[in-house]
Amino acid sequence: MPSTPEFQHTVAKPASFSGTALHTGEKVTVKLQPAPVDHGIKFKRKDLQDEPTIDAKIENLKTVERATTIGEGSVRVHTVEHVLAALWAMGVDNALVEMDANEPPIGDGSAQGYVDLVRKAGVTAQDEPRKFFEVRETMHVESKSGALVVVLPDDKFRISCTQAGPNNRFAQFLSMEITPAVFEREIAPARTFVYYEDVKPLMDKNLIKGGSLENAIVVRGEAVLSKEPLRFADEFVRHKILDIIGDLALVGRRIRGHVVAVKPSHATNAQLARSITREQTRRSAVAAPRTIPSGDGGLDTDQVMQILPHRYPFLMVDRIIGFEGENKITGIKSITINEPFFQGHFPGHPVMPGVMQVEAMAQVASILLFKLTKTSSRVGYFMSADQVKFRKPVFPGDTIFIHAELTRARGNRMAKTKCHCVVNDAVVSEGELMFTFLDK
């Protein structure tokens, strides 16, 4: 758990570059403009009347045939994945991408030109925390063609990808945490590649007018045709990772999770982005807004005791210091040498028992659940504790900050919470607690 929030970023100043569009072969200029907090990435068509803008969100995804196309109404922007990958991986949360055509320049088929553009524009922090999607349980999508994408819980954003062409030619694997430095060095330079048998029909239909060995690698049989040598021995899998980053940017939130992809495509990437967005919507809707019990967002000891049935020596919450939105709460407990458990728990070496920390988490979580159910006539009973970990000892003189977040609710009957205790900005314990509600 990061102890300080990460902040949203935008580009520091406008910057632009020009090039050829892949599918139409026309010259196009793309310009990055700074944007306010919570704006996200939007594309503006400067070549159309009224200059319409399109939000780079999964809801606006139109097609995923060989490239990612977004649109609203009749307006389209094609092949946005390289732009989105560069912005997202280089840490830009908010930007307006202005274009004078329906597709950005293909450049050399990689995201290098867009990384250079972000570098030219600069990146600057804004005064609003970033929005994250924390992967809590495994999610997966698979296609009839054998593509499989799984995302697992992780406190960083990682991608592990296996790429294989027709008849499993050029099978490659790579796994890495995605940071701006890693993306710029290891992923952005990787170019688009195509299999000759796949693109010949498109060439025959005159559909890839801007395509050439200048901006793509063509694989024909065992031969690799490109204007310059391969930039990496495993350039293909690196480009697949680039596409995954660009397509998942359509979620609109930064992902904390480990994406494991086997033979991924734009279609499976988009399916995963849809699943994540659905889950985020569900989480946001878990709790309807209700008023917080009196006080300025927190509860003093008397108010805590009106809610919880516990009393000395078993009341493990001194006060609630605040609620965040509908499903997060923070409480505190000051640990003194006078705690009754120190008499019998390692008397010569006073350490707070781990089970008492779990009890403190359960009590803070109960207050959150009370706030949500809006009744004190029922009491939350502890059903199970999963993934409990004790990371550091807690000593007399420590103040514990106890955080609880509602992760799942089933009516007014059951609820699941994710909790952790923090001392001096370090997590000392954590766990997932399940409750059921019964009448008193």
Q: Which residues pair with 197 in a beta bridge?
A: none
User: In sequence order, what DSSP letters do the residues of 174-214 get, joined into one string?
Assistant: EEEE--HHHIIIIITTPPPEEEHHHHHHHHHTT--TT-STT
Please check whether residue 395 is in contact with residue 335, taking contact to mean a CB–CB distance below 8 angstroms. Answer: yes
Please check whether residue 317 is in contact with residue 399, taking contact to mean a CB–CB distance below 8 angstroms. Answer: no
Distance CA 246, CA 110 (A): 12
Of 51, 59, 122, 115, give the one whose Cα is nearest residue 83: 115
User: In sequence order, what DSSP letters do the residues of 6-56 get, joined into one string?
Assistant: PEEEEESS-EEEEEEBTTT--EEEEEEEE--TT--EEEEETTSTT--EEE-
Exposed, middle or buried by CB within 10 Å (0-12, 13-18, 19+), for 193? buried
Q: Supply angle C-alpha 307, 308, 310, rounded to 5.
A: 150
Of 103, 125, 299, give the one whose Cα is nearest residue 208: 103
Distance CA 148, CA 256 (A): 19
Please check whether residue 292 is in contact with residue 303, taking contact to mean a CB–CB distance below 8 angstroms. Answer: no
Name the one residue in this structure whose structure tokens are 């830009």: 92
Neighbouring residues of 5: CB distance < 8 A, sequence distance ≥ 6: 129, 130
Angle between helices 81-89 and 112-121 (to 10 degrees): 50
Residue positions annotated with a catalytic role: 266, 345
Sign of CA dihedral 91, 89, 132, 73: positive
Question: Element (H or E) spanning 403, and its range?
Answer: strand 399-410
Neighbouring residues of 8: CB distance < 8 A, sequence distance ≥ 6: 37, 38, 93, 94, 125, 126, 128, 129, 130
